[in-house]
């Protein structure tokens, strides 16, 4: 097994760790979950670039890498639903999961019928990056909101910055849902 595939498997292993850290309540759990999510997201960037640059692209990696991304972002959106991060998060999660199940099913049919593994396209990669940025921003805002006992957060609340940040998180997450639909349509076509 090559390094890019090991990084993909590491991302899969980090996914339940991330979700557990996100939903278990203990001091600074959101910050720790954020750091684990960032680490897992960085493995996504590294594995693909490394595989392409060192001619290590495999069918296993083409298939498992997008699946690992879906596992990580799905875990984040499920955690967001429990923590109520983002306005309309249930619908955002539904849209994203609907597309992911549809595209994954098509990829499975393609593999079983022709033996061809369909790699993620550019639109799918943009969708994933947007989702990851939205999750990172959402976790950051959630952590800032958690700091409500501090002087820093009292000032932020008085300036309505927390509200603006929460709206911004929602806009980014909804943008990722729209990109998810667009990339799904392009994938189907």
CATH number at residue 90: 1.20.120
The domain in which residue 84 lies consists of 3-188
Residues of the chain with pLDDT under 50: none
What tens digit of pLDDT does each residue of 109-136 get?
877 787 777 766 788 888 889 999 999 9
Our count of domains for the chain comes to: 1
Distance CA 187, CA 18 (A): 29
CA dist 20 → 28, 69, 75, 181 (Å): 13, 17, 9, 28
Question: Given this model, what pLDDT does residue 104 score?
Answer: 83
């Amino acid at each position: 097994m090559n390094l890019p595939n090991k990084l993909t498997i590491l991302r899969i292993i980090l996914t339940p760790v991330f979700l557990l850290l996100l939903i278990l309540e203990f001091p600074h759990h959101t910050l720790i979950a954020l750091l684990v999510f960032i680490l897992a997201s960085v493995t996504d960037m590294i594995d693909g670039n490394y595989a392409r640059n060192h001619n290590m692209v495999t069918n296993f990696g083409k298939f498992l890498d997008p699946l690992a991304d879906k596992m990580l972002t799905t875990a984040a959106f499920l955690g967001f639903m429990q923590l109520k991060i983002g306005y309309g998060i249930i619908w955002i999660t539904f849209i994203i999961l609907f597309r992911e199940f549809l595209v994954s099913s098509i990829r499975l049919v393609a593999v079983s019928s022709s033996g061809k593994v369909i790699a993620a396209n550019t639109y799918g990669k943009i969708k994933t990056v947007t989702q990851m940025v939205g999750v990172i921003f959402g976790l950051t805002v959630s952590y800032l909101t958690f700091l409500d006992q501090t002087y820093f957060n009292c000032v932020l609340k008085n300036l309505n910055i927390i509200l603006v940040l929460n709206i911004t998180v929602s806009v980014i997450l909804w943008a990722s849902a729209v990109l998810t639909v667009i990339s799904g349509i392009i994938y189907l076509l």
